Homo-oligomer: A and B are copies of this chain.
Amino acid sequence: MRLATRDNGRPDGELLVVSEDGSRAAPVPRWPNVLAALTDWSAAERDLSEVANQVTLGFGTPVDQTRLRAPLPRTWQWLDGSAFQAHADLMQVAFGTEKIEHDKPLMYQGMSDRFYGPSDTVPFPDEAHGIDFEGEFGVVVDAVPMGTSATEAMSHIKLLVQINDWSLRTLAVPEMKTGFGWIQAKPACSMAPFAVTPGELGDGWREGRVCLDLVVEWNGRPFGRANGREMAHGFHELVAHAAATRDLVAGTVIGSGTVANADYAEVGSSCISERRAIEIIAEGKPTTHFMRFGDRCRMEALTADGRAIFGAIEQEVVAASKAT
């Protein structure tokens, strides 16, 4: 099942159940938005599945994925991990920081009151902040009680999403050094148009990992094609980590961190900082600039048979004063 959110003038938008090919969709009046559905998922799932069957049979109206909002335009909690070792290793080089000694998953809490839609322009105040994209996968859970184990956590993963975790790199290092995590360096993220139930991925969802290639393009040029399978901790382990001392509210989104692979020389990267780190290793200094206003970034995850199952994020970066 694939869900999307259409603008209806309300903060949470209107939930749509989307056809397998992403061309048609139908609302479900009893479940006005995705966040509401997640608060009572077992009831919602039955109703949404029924509409999904109808949409498969030709019910629904045409949908333009470039006009959709984020499947969750806002939610109560966004916890982002950093589960790819290749990313962690390269960021250490990029940031000039020391190796993080920690036997648990890395995770910070970020801004969740706004997720940009897949085609929204994204405003930033200053190019000098080192504007970078970060291609990620994420999971959305229903209510997870404090103390839930990783094994139990698996069944709380109701939806998978694809995220661009926008980052401001020159602000990131000093904030990280405080130990407090990131405020200025991590503004709102973007989401691809479709949130999908794990079953939709078939073999692409294994051991709590989204085992799909994340195809990243920067200004129309290929930038990376890393696969989500190399997470050091699966999403179920990230959920359990987050729930160790708190109940997780329904609608919590937990991110993988930037998708990266050990053979980055082959597959490329999902953020500019990694490419700069690779340049530092090879040439002693970075030569790739961060983004400029007017730059575009496109991200889509492909199934084995080449379907962009989450749809595409395709956005332009603009000066904050020019944002609409």
Q: Which residues of A come within 8 Å of B, CB atoms?
A: 74, 76-77, 79, 82, 97, 100-102, 104, 106-114, 123-125, 129, 146-147, 168, 171, 174, 176-185, 187-188, 241-242, 244-247, 249, 252, 320
* Inter-chain contact A146/B174, CB cutoff 8 Å: no
Question: A108 — which chain B residues lie within 8 A by C-beta?
Answer: 109, 180-181, 183
User: A246 to B189, alpha carbons, bound, how many Å?
Assistant: 11
Given that A77-B111, A111-B109, A176-B179 are known contacts, is A320 also in contact with B184, CB under 8 Å in the complex?
no
Given B106, B110, B178, which contacts A106 in the complex, CB threshold below 8 Å? B178
Does B77 contact A113, Cβ atoms closer than 8 Å? Answer: yes
Contacts of A101 in B (CB 8 A): 177
In order of increasing CB-CB distance, the 3 nearest A-B pairs are A181-B181, A76-B113, A176-B179
Once the chains are docked, how many angstroms separate the CA of A183 from the CA of B181?
A: 10
The interface residues of chain B lying within 8 Å CB-to-CB of A104 are 174, 184
B147→A125 contact, CB < 8 A: yes
B320 touches A147 (CB 8 A): yes
A174→B103 CA distance, assembly (Å): 9
A187: chain B residues within 8 A (beta carbon): 245-246
B residues near A125, Cβ cutoff 8 Å: 146-147, 244-245
The chain B residue with its CB closest to the CB of A252 is: B113
Taking CB atoms, residues of chain B closer than 8 Å to A180 are 82, 106-108, 176, 181
B106 A109 Cβ-Cβ under 8 A: no
Report chain B residues within 8 Å CB of A168.
245
User: Which residues of B have CB within 8 Å of A184?
Assistant: 104, 241, 244-245
Which among B109, B179, B246 is the interface contact of A109 at CB below 8 angstroms? B109
Flag if A97 contacts B245 (CB, 8 Å).
no
The CA of A76 and the CA of B75, in the complex, are separated in Å by 8
Measured CB to CB, the nearest residue on chain B to A82 is: B180
Query: Which residue in B102, B171, B178 is a CB contact (below 8 Å) of A245?
Result: B171
User: Beyond A179-B97, A180-B107, is A174–B102 a contact (Cβ under 8 Å)?
Assistant: yes
